[in-house]
């Protein structure tokens, strides 16, 4: 059986989604040589080429194709994006599926009998093939107050996607037991536990050793970094909660503290750019602009040094269930401050300081403790290293192999949700 591996065309500036795709793709590439079925990467757009080459994911008959230029495009000013407010498209009826016959024919002509989506894709079920797909979060239902999951038709688009994903997916992959419970609680009328598989996040850290002194010096000079700083690598979505950090920094500054924070990430979207502008204005209003450093979209090859030079990760996000940066921080022996929310609480355990993401006082207190308490930093690093040791790349790869084998078995046995004729409503479609 031929299994097609498909990206959603997330670019390198798509942050965690791109990293998630590349991690899955790296794991599948290791499986391919020993998996009993044929695994084939199906490229649907020329935009695939540059991102894949940038992470060493391309070769010609075994000859690696490596770019000499960094794939880290310079961003135009945020005004470029704030002038491009997205339209709100007509709402999608989740009970009327828009099938993509041309795409379906292309995939069928490729010989694919099953698709493995590397990230959530609105088109997955439109091809009328069995498919496996991740569900990364359901925050459009859990926290709809954030514009990135609700504005400009996004809530409707996501609901259309998740309803039909749960109807038609051969298997759905989630990051945690909390993520699994969310799917069952919100869409349990469409999918049961039998079609949900838990695959905890595992960042591509096995090939990233601690940076050497020369690399640390290069990165410090490149960005003119402060001597000490907290680090937050994140896109400027409102749910990432950069604003809480600014308010915490104001409290610290008023007490005479010297803490500084370094941000990196993209604002290349209307909603991102609006939030970025508001954050920069807030920093100036609070009188802490000189304590905030924004690096732009830092390339992946600088991230190890940026983590290692920092005094720790500060990540007061509202979204989970779980997240990748704490695992990266643990790998680079940095302490973690993050949010005391369901999912993150279970992921972090004793490997970090957990704070209320609505409390500047709580975050300021945690940042001051880490800044001044060397013993606490060492303790958290030790706890984080121990928790990270419970993760295993080989286990991650083996779990993906089991998911693929399970999906193949279901396809062969006809135990996959059945699509109705393209002219019929999805409500009449039956799931096995």
pLDDT of residue 301: 86
Residues contacting 74, CB < 8 A, separation 6+: 296
- Residue 145 CA, distance from chain mean position: 20
* CA atoms of 228 and 285, how far apart (whole Å): 23
406-416 burial code (b ≥16 CB/10 A, e <16) = bbbebbeeeeb
> Residue 430: beta bridge partners?
none
pLDDT of residue 12: 54
For CA atoms 7, 233, 207, 201, the dihedral sign is negative
pLDDT of residue 217: 97
Residues contacting 271, CB < 8 A, separation 6+: 147, 148, 151, 152, 237, 238
Residue 293, judged by CB atoms within 10 A of its CB (0-12, 13-18, 19+), counts as middle
pLDDT of residue 47: 74
Q: Kindly list the structural domains of the chain, giving each domain's residue range(s) and its CATH number in brackets, ordered by start.
A: 2-202+393-428 (3.40.50), 213-389 (3.40.50.2000)
Whether cis (ω within 30° of 0) applies to the bond prior to 221 is no
* CA atoms of 53 and 367, how far apart (whole Å): 38
Tokens of 47: 């935009």
**pTM given for the model:** 0.90
Residues 219, 225 contacting (CB under 8 angstroms): yes
Residue 64, judged by CB atoms within 10 A of its CB (0-12, 13-18, 19+), counts as exposed
* CA atoms of 54 and 229, how far apart (whole Å): 28
- Profile the chain (432 residues) by mean pLDDT over runs of 10 residues: 84 71 90 93 80 77 77 81 94 90 88 94 88 96 96 95 96 96 97 96 81 96 97 96 98 96 94 97 97 92 95 97 94 97 94 98 98 96 94 93 97 92 44 36
* CA atoms of 187 and 134, how far apart (whole Å): 15
pLDDT of residue 14: 57
Q: Is residue 128 left, alpha or beta, with left meaning phi > 0 and alpha meaning psi from -120 to 50?
A: left
């Amino acid at each position: 059986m031929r299994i097609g591996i498909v990206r959603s065309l997330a670019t390198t500036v798509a942050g965690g989604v791109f990293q998630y795709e590349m991690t899955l793709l790296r794991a599948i590439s290791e499986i391919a040589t020993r998996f009993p079925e044929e695994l084939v990467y199906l490229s649907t757009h020329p935009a695939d080429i540059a991102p894949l080459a940038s992470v060493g994911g391309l070769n010609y008959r075994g000859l690696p194709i490596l770019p000499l230029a960094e794939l880290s495009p310079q961003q135009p000013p945020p005004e470029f994006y704030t002038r491009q407010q997205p339209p709100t498209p007509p709402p999608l009826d989740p009970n009327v599926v828009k099938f993509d016959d041309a795409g379906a024919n292309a995939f069928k002509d490729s010989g694919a009998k099953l698709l493995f989506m590397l990230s959530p894709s609105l088109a997955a079920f439109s091809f009328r093939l069995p498919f496996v797909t991740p569900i990364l979060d359901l925050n459009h239902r859990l926290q709809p107050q954030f514009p990135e999951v609700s504005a400009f038709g996004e809530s409707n688009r996501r609901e259309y996607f998740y309803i039909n994903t749960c109807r038609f997916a051969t298997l759905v992959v989630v990051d945690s037991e909390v993520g699994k419970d969310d799917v069952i609680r919100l869409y349990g009328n469409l999918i049961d536990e039998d079609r949900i598989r838990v695959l905890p996040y595992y960042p591509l850290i096995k090939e990233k050793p601690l940076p050497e002194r020369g690399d640390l010096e290069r990165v410090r000079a490149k960005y003119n970094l402060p001597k000490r700083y907290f680090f937050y690598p994140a896109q400027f979505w409102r749910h990432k909660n950069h604003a809480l950090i600014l308010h915490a920094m104001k409290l610290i500054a008023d007490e005479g503290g010297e803490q500084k924070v370094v941000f990196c990430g993209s604002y290349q979207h209307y909603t991102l750019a609006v939030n970025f502008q508001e954050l920069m204005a807030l920093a100036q209003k609070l009188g802490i602009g000189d304590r905030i450093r924004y690096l732009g979209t830092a390339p992946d090859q600088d991230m190890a040094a940026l983590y290692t030079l920092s005094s720790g990760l500060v990540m007061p996000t509202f979204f989970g269930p779980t997240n990748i940066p704490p695992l990266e921080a643990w790998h680079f022996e940095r302490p973690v401050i993050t949010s005391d929310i369901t999912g993150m609480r279970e992921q972090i355990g004793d490997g970090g300081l957990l704070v209320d993401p609505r409390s500047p006082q709580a975050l300021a207190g945690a940042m001051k403790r880490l800044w001044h308490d060397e013993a606490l930093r060492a303790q958290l690093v030790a706890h984080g290293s121990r928790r990270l040791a419970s993760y295993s790349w080989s286990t991650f790869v083996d779990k993906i192999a089991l998911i693929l084998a399970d999906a193949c078995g279901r396809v062969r046995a006809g135990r996959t949700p059945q699509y109705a004729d393209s002219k019929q409503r999805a409500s009449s479609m039956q799931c096995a």
